[in-house]
Structure 1
Amino acid sequence: MAIQQDVEQGKQEAREPLLDEDKTSVDGDEEGDERKISQKSRRENVWMVYLSTIVAVCGSYEFGCCAGYSSPTQSAITEDLDLSLSEYSVFGSILTFGAMIGAITSGPIADFIGRKGAMRVATGFCVVGWLAIYFAEGALALDIGRLATGYGMGVFSYVVPVFIAEIAPKDLRGALTTLNQLMICTGVSVSFIIGTVLTWRVLALIGLVPCAILLFGLFLIPESPRWLAKTGKEKEFETALQKLRGEDADISHEAAEIKDYIETLERLPKAKMLDIFQRRYVRSVIIGVGLMVCQQFGGINGICFYVSEIFEIAGFSSSVGTITYACLQVVVTALGATLIDKAGRKPLLLVSATGLVIGCLLTGLAFYFKVYDLATNAVPALAVTGVLLYIGSFSAGMGAVPWVVMSEIFPINIKGVAGSLATLVNWFGAWLISYTFNYLMSWSSYGTFILYAAINALAFLFIITVVPETKGRTLEQIQAAINN
Structure 2
Amino acid sequence: MIAAIPNIIGWLAISFARDSSFLYMGRLLEGFGVGIISYTVPVYIAEIAPQNLRGSLGSVNQLSVTLGIMLAYLLGLFVEWRILAVLGILPCTILIPGLFFIPESPRWLAKMGMTEDFETSLQVLRGFEADISIEVNEIKRSVASTTRRTTIRFADLKERRYWFPLMVGIGLLMLQQLSGINGVLFYSSTIFEAAAGVKSSNAATFGVGAIQVIATAVTTWLVDKAGRRLLLIVSSFGMTLSLLVVAVSFFLKDVVSSDSSVYSIMGILSVVGVVAMVVTFSLGMGAIPWVIMSEILPINIKGLAGSIATLSNWFFAWVVTMTANFLLDWSSGGTFTIYMVVSAFTIVFVTLWVPETKGRTLEEIQWSFR
Do they fold alike, i.e. is TM over 0.5? yes
| Alignment CA distance shift 1:251-1:264 (3 Å) | farther
Which residue among 41, 54, 62 is the counterpart of 1:160?
Answer: 41
Task: Give the 3 Å change call, closer, same or farther, for CA 185–262 of structure 1 in structure 2.
Answer: same
1:276 aligns to 2:157 (yes or no)? yes
Correspondence for 1:193: 74
SS at match of 1:391: helix
Q: 2:231 matched to which residue of 1?
A: 348
- The whole-number CA distance in structure 1 between the counterparts of 2:306 and 2:141 is 23
Matching residue of 2:178: 297
Aligned 8 A contact 1:365 1:382 in 2: no
Cα distance change, pair 409–217 in 1 and its aligned pair in 2 (3 A): closer
Distance in 2 (alpha carbons) for counterparts of 1:404 and 1:460: 18
* Cα distance, 1:243 vs structure 2: 6.2
1:13-412 equivalences under 5 Å are: 120-167=1-48, 175-224=56-105, 227=108, 265-278=146-159, 281-314=162-195, 315-316=197-198, 317-372=200-255, 373-374=257-258, 375-412=262-299
Q: 1:236 Cα deviation (Å)?
A: 6.8
Deviation at residue 151 of structure 1 after TM alignment? 0.9
After the TM superposition, which of the residue ranges 216-225 and 395-404 deviates more from structure 2?
A: 216-225
Residue identity matched to 2:277: Y
Distance across 2 between alignment mates of 1:234 and 1:415: 20
403 and 312 in structure 1: CA distance in 2 versus 1, 3 angstrom threshold: same
Distance 1:344 1:216, change over 3 A: closer
CA distance in 1, matches of 2:221, 2:115: 38
2: CA distance, partners of 1:343 / 1:250: 27
CA distance in 1, matches of 2:142, 2:367: 22
Q: Normalising by structure 2, what TM-score?
A: 0.82
Q: 1:454 maps to which residue? A: 341
Q: Deviations over 1:21-56 (max 9, x none)?
A: xxxxxxxxxxxxxxxxxxxxxxxxxxxxxxxxxxxx
Determine helix, strand or coil for the equivalent of 1:271: coil
5+ residue gaps, structure 2, are none
1:292 CA displacement: 2.3
Q: Distance in 1 between matches of 2:287 and 2:59?
A: 9
Letter in 2 for 1:215: I
SS at 2:147 equivalent:
helix
Q: Could you tell me whether the CA contact under 8 Å between 2:183 and 2:324 is conserved in 1?
A: yes
Residue 198 of structure 1: how far off its partner (Å): 2.7
Displacement of 1:411 in angstroms is 4.7
The answer to whether the Cα contact below 8 Å between 2:245 and 2:270 also exists between their aligned partners in 1 is yes
Identity %: 47
Kindly provide the amino acid, as one letter, of the partner of residue 277 in structure 1.
Answer: K
Stretches of structure 1 that go unaligned for 5 or more consecutive residues are 1-119
Moved more, 130-139 or 274-283: 274-283
For 1:350-409, what per-residue CA distance to the aligned partner results, in whole angstroms no more than 9, with x for missing partners?
221122122223333443455454434235422321111111111111122223333454
CA–CA separation in structure 2 for the residues paired with 1:200 and 1:384: 27
Give the whole-Å Cα distance in 2 for the aligned partners of 1:354 and 1:210: 36
Change in Cα spacing, 1:435 to 1:331, as seen in structure 2 (3 Å) is same
Q: CA RMSD in A?
A: 3.5
Change (3 A) 1:371 1:228: same
Query: How far apart are 1:335 and its partner, in Å?
Result: 1.1
Q: Given residue 355 of structure 1, which amino acid in structure 2 is its aligned partner?
A: G
Q: How many residues align?
A: 363
Moved more, 233-242 or 453-462: 233-242
The question of whether the paired residues in 2 share the 8 Å contact of 1:241 and 1:251 is answered with: no
The secondary structure found in structure 2 opposite 1:357 is helix
Paired residue type of 1:418: A
Task: Name 1:42's counterpart in structure 2.
Answer: none
* Aligned partners of 2:52 and 2:358 also within 8 Å: no
CA contact (8 A) 2:242 2:277 kept: yes
Q: 1:396 to 1:440 in 2, by over 3 A?
A: same
